[in-house]
């Protein structure tokens, strides 16, 4: 179900992202536990907006984890707060050999540890810790922009034409009808 465009939910596109896939492409897991890495984030203009250091480690009990270390800069005060904590890792076997790495979400919500196995962790604006999109109640930009009422009109063009002809469409519905009409016309061209 699509979200209203005026929803106040943050999107994953607004957040800083940690991705197992990108770490794998950069060879983070190839050297094995004990390796130290760092990464930077840039904005759409290419300006560096932050950096993070992480150590790929194995605990004495054999549990894999990443030790994250980064600094949070708070709004107008520009006060810097160092943050360091472990994020658990787990693996699953792939069908044709090898393993796939996953993060274990480190957040605690309503006094319950999340512990979800996820491929990406997000740090929303103003946040302090990385967590999964479920814990932060994040959505995607495309979900906020999608309106399933337009799809219903596109699937039933006769209903759209009937509403336009008999005047039962309210002024606010006309925008929906126009969007649906635009979709139908793009399909026919």
Mean pLDDT by 10 residues, the chain (189 residues): 60 88 84 80 73 86 90 75 92 91 94 95 90 91 70 69 70 66 66
Contact predicate 160/180, CB 8 Å? yes
Tally of residues, the chain: 189
Please tell me the predicted confidence (pLDDT) of residue 75: 66
H and E: helices and strands count for the chain = 5, 10
Contact predicate 147/179, CB 8 Å? yes
Q: Where are the domains of the chain?
A: 12-139, 147-188
Phi and psi based region of residue 115 (left: phi greater than 0; alpha: psi -120 to 50; beta: remaining): left
List, in sequence order, every residue forming a beta bridge with 122; answer none if it has no partner.
Answer: 17, 131
pTM: 0.72
Contact predicate 101/24, CB 8 Å? yes
Please tell me the predicted confidence (pLDDT) of residue 1: 45
């Amino acid at each position: 179900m699509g979200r209203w465009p005026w929803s106040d939910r943050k999107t994953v596109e607004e957040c800083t992202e940690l991705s197992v896939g990108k770490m794998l492409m950069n060879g983070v897991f190839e050297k094995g536990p004990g390796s130290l890495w760092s990464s930077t984030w840039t904005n759409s203009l290419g300006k560096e907006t932050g950096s993070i250091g992480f150590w790929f480690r194995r605990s004495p009990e054999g549990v894999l984890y990443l030790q994250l270390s980064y600094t949070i800069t708070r709004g107008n005060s520009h006060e810097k707060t160092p943050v360091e904590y472990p994020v658990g890792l787990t693996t699953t076997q792939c069908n044709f050999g090898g393993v796939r790495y996953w993060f274990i979400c480190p957040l605690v919500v309503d006094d319950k540890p999340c512990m979800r196995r996820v491929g990406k962790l997000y740090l929303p604006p103003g946040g302090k810790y990385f967590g999964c999109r479920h814990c932060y109640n994040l959505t995607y930009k495309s979900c906020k922009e999608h309106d399933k009422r337009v799809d219903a009109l596109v699937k039933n063009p006769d209903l759209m034409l009937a509403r336009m002809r008999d005047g039962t469409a309210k002024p606010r519905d006309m925008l929906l009808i126009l969007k649906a009409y635009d979709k139908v016309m793009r399909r026919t061209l």
